[in-house]
Structure 1
Amino acid sequence: MTWRVSETAVAYAVAAALLLALGVVAGRADVAVLGVPLAGVVLWGWLRRPLGGASARIARTRPPAKHGEVAATLELQAPAGADAVWVRVEAPGHTALHALVRAEAARDIRVSIESVRTGRFRMFAGGWLGIGASGVTRGAPEVISGTTVTLTPRVRALRELPLPFRLQGLTGGHHSRRAGDGGDLRDVNPFTPGDRLRRIDWRVTARRAGQGTSAAGVAVDGRSRLTELYVRRTFATADATVMLVIDSRDEVGPDVTAWGDRLPARHDEATSLDLAREAAASLARHYLDQGDRVGMVDLGRSRAPVPSAGGRRHLHRLTQRLVLAQPEGDPFGRVRPPQIPSGALIVLFSTFLDDQSVNTAVVWRHSGHRVVAVDVLPMPVPDYLPPAERVAFGILRLEREERLKNLVRSGVELVPWEGSAAARGRNDAPVQLTALARSRVRR
């Protein structure tokens, strides 16, 4: 690093020279003496100028103290002779932080911000400047490159969630309609080859044989004899297959003036993708905790979907795919909907601003799948629109409402997520999901 004389030192030197010259010309020793301290400060600062370079970088991210907080550590390395370091740290959507900190050999500074957004962002970029003794010298401005931070969605607690029409698998946490090893009683049936002996219900067998039989099945009074055994059959347990479908073709926030890629979305307001990530992560956590199999499809990308699986590691895999979901270029039209496993429950997270997501959901519903549509369009704020654009927004809103009505008429179950336009400030998404879980829907 190259250290040079600062503007403050130049001003001190010029003032000292003027005072000395004025004192000599006017024959005033007292005036000339006033310039001596200024000249001494410049000389002292130059003789004690720092030797060597300094460094400032974002070393690592710190665990957040609460959800929505992003924290990192700024490492400062100042050479001997430096008095202070001026630092500027920036983050998208936030006011830049300017600070003058005392220079030390090594110092760690904690920087943090709060954000409602999710995804991957470049944060804590900025610059720094070393200041020598008495501000006489300073280093050249340097850049802090920042670091890439991954903001994961918040996971909300849910009580009950809807299940597909047909459960699959040989074991799981839900009761199926077929007989097998489970908990709930299905019926009492005569013993057949293949039934386990431990399932024999001796009470029912004795009751059917008559009250006069002994334990060996021999008639006591000659009226009845034990000729047939009866077993208790239970409902088998099974797991559900759930496919989460994310519509990442567009990302809009509450500010309507920023729609259409004219302005970047604000970082203090949650966008449609932020709501979709939160809803999808919450549902995935609940289903996986119950032992179900969860997969994911992104309508905005042509890459292969995440296959359905279970376990904690799979939840991490789904969360990472949700974080990376974002609009890429112009939305492309699909010739046909993505392939979904047979009998799976489909949960579609979309803003429903066009017909493609609606048509895809209707095709899946007509194919026999149970489809739940989650509305994640934030509450629009069209206050700053010109009159012509306000009329266009009114037409868009009416088209969207008609599109949602057609979706419900097709048999798709609609649930507005918290913060969406349809929710209107209410927090009843878990309640509606519980109602869908307890309702009987025709196939």
Structure 2
Amino acid sequence: MQPQLGWGDDPPARGADRGDGGAEPPPVGAPWLPGRHLVWTLAASLAVVGLGAVAGRADVVLVGVGPLVAATWALLLRPRGEVWVDVEPATTTAGRIGARVHLAAPPGTEAVRLRVARPSHGHVEALVAVPLTRTLDVTAPSVRTGPQDLVRVDGQGLGTGGHLTGPATRTTVPPVTVLPRAGTMPGLPLPFRLRGLTGQHASRRPGEGGDLRDVHPFQPGDSLRRVDWRVTARRSPRGEQLYTRRTFALAEAHVTLVVDSRDDVGPDPATWSGHVPVRPDDATSLDVARRAAATVARAYLTAGDRVGVEDLGVRQRTLRPGGGRSQLDRVVHQLAVLRPQGDPAPRVRPPQLPSGTLVYLFSTFLDAEPATLAALWRRSGHRVVVVDVLPTLRRGALDGRGRLALRIVEMERRDRVADLAAAGCEVVRWTDDDAAARVQLMARQSHRRPGVGVGR
């Protein structure tokens, strides 16, 4: 996964403001060294002129004067100062991260040799013509989310014909946060109990805006606009009794996304110990959890529901439930900064959730704590959807002991997930192809009719 260079459209001025105060170019006067070809040209020219002068041959002297004058002229007019390189993060879209490289070269610079590298991703080199200033767009594919190292850019100026070489400069960029990309969900499972007096979901309570509940004789307090004149004419031809149409109330769902950030493992079990780094082109379990949680949050917030975030790894990372577009931005950012931080203390009790909350638990279930918390939430009356985010494993690099250890871990995982299903939790493996169909089936069970599968 090597960075790719693309040309920008609008080169900025030297020292242009980037929103953070900008950066000033280095002081003028840094030395430019002659290249090997220029040194050999000077030496050969001086030798030819000297031999012609000693031998009294004017034609030989004229042969050496031309290259000597050209090389001397190049030395006298060599650029002064360093090539200024500034890097700023660019917009990250659809699995690609980018940066914008600003270049400013002193007069007399013909080209700039660039080397763009990302840690553990390789590097790419390019020779760029820089007419004083230029802007380059650098992009690189990335399957990772969360805090990521951007790029390191090394630049070196070249004089006319490449015979002069300027001092090398290096520019690094602080890590950037890559936000997870939210997908789409075909259906929305609802909690056992809806809350609030607004929303888009029909509840059991009588109220305004929902489906038809029944037709009832007019009572004090009923609105005349709800009188059903056809039913009234059929049941009370003389008009002694009016009949009104009563509906169900609309309500909203409260959803809590619980992310287990304690584990961030890749598809290769040999990297789980931490001694072997995960390949940069492999999505880890936390990458899968971020994308899955962002997809769920976007679907519910678009439907007008309220969404919050809980982190099992760090207790201070709690986002209170809220709604709207701004809440989606907060949720996505909260998911992006989740990462393992040391060895968290065991929880004595699960995080306290509002009554009637739909819980989505995203975990690898490599240990028993997430399964224990999910079972406690289910016994408390919450609807719990367990999302398994462990990537599809690769076993080719394991030896006999590694395969045996992995088999034991998988057996323990299957037992935990089976116990959760037996306790009433709904299990979805997000990395499977039928994950969307499973979620759609759970949504149909919630939407059969008001009062079935959905509480008050």
Q: Same fold (TM over 0.5)?
A: yes
The amino acid that maps onto 1:367 is S
The amino acid that maps onto 2:33 is V
2:158 to 103, 127, 131: 131
Query: Residue 6 of structure 1 contacts residue 135 of structure 1 at CA under 8 Å; is this kept in 2?
Result: no
Mark the CA change 1:385 to 1:198 in structure 2 (over 3 Å): closer, same or farther: same
Structure 1 residue 134, shift from structure 2 partner: 3.5
Structure 1 residue 115 and structure 2 residue 142: aligned? Answer: yes
Mark the CA change 1:398 to 1:32 in structure 2 (over 3 Å): closer, same or farther: farther
Deviations 1:337-389 (A, max 9, x none): 11111110000111111111111111101111000011111111121123222
The within-5 A match list for 1:10-409 is 12=40, 16=44, 42-61=71-90, 63=91, 67-209=94-236, 213-214=237-238, 217=239, 226=240, 228-409=241-422
Structure 1 residue 77, shift from structure 2 partner: 0.5
What is the aligned length?
420
SS in 2 for 1:439: helix
RMSD: 2.8
The amino acid that maps onto 2:98 is A
The amino acid that maps onto 2:110 is D
SS in 2 for 1:431: helix
Q: Which residue does the alignment assign to 1:437?
A: 443
2: CA distance, partners of 1:37 / 1:21: 10
1: CA distance, partners of 2:120 / 2:184: 29
2: CA distance, partners of 1:131 / 1:47: 15
Q: Return the TM-score normalized by structure 1.
A: 0.87
Q: Which residue does the alignment assign to 1:416?
A: 429
Deviations 1:244-287 (A, max 9, x none): 11111111111222212223322212111111111111111111
Name which one, 1 or 2, has greater alpha-carbon Rg: 1
Mark the CA change 1:34 to 1:342 in structure 2 (over 3 Å): closer, same or farther: farther
2: CA distance, partners of 1:39 / 1:402: 84
SS in 2 for 1:141: strand
Q: Return the TM-score normalized by structure 2.
A: 0.84
Mark the CA change 1:172 to 1:406 in structure 2 (over 3 Å): closer, same or farther: same
Structure 1 residue 45, shift from structure 2 partner: 2.6
2: CA distance, partners of 1:37 / 1:95: 45
Structure 1 residue 294, shift from structure 2 partner: 0.7
Structure 1 residue 304, shift from structure 2 partner: 4.9
Question: In percent, how many aligned pairs have the same letter?
Answer: 44
The amino acid that maps onto 1:392 is A
Deviations 1:52-91 (A, max 9, x none): 3320111451x45x51122322111111122221111112
Greater shift after overlay, 6-15 or 380-389? 6-15
Structure 1 residue 114, shift from structure 2 partner: 1.4
Greater relative CO (CA pairs within 8 A, separation 6+): 2
Q: Which residue does the alignment assign to 2:36?
A: 8
Query: Residue 123 of structure 1 contacts residue 149 of structure 1 at CA under 8 Å; is this kept in 2?
Result: yes
2: CA distance, partners of 1:156 / 1:143: 38
Greater shift after overlay, 307-316 or 376-385? 376-385
Q: Which runs of 5+ in 2 are unaligned?
A: 1-28, 447-452
Q: Which runs of 5+ in 1 are unaligned?
A: 218-225
SS in 1 for 2:372: helix
The amino acid that maps onto 1:112 is T
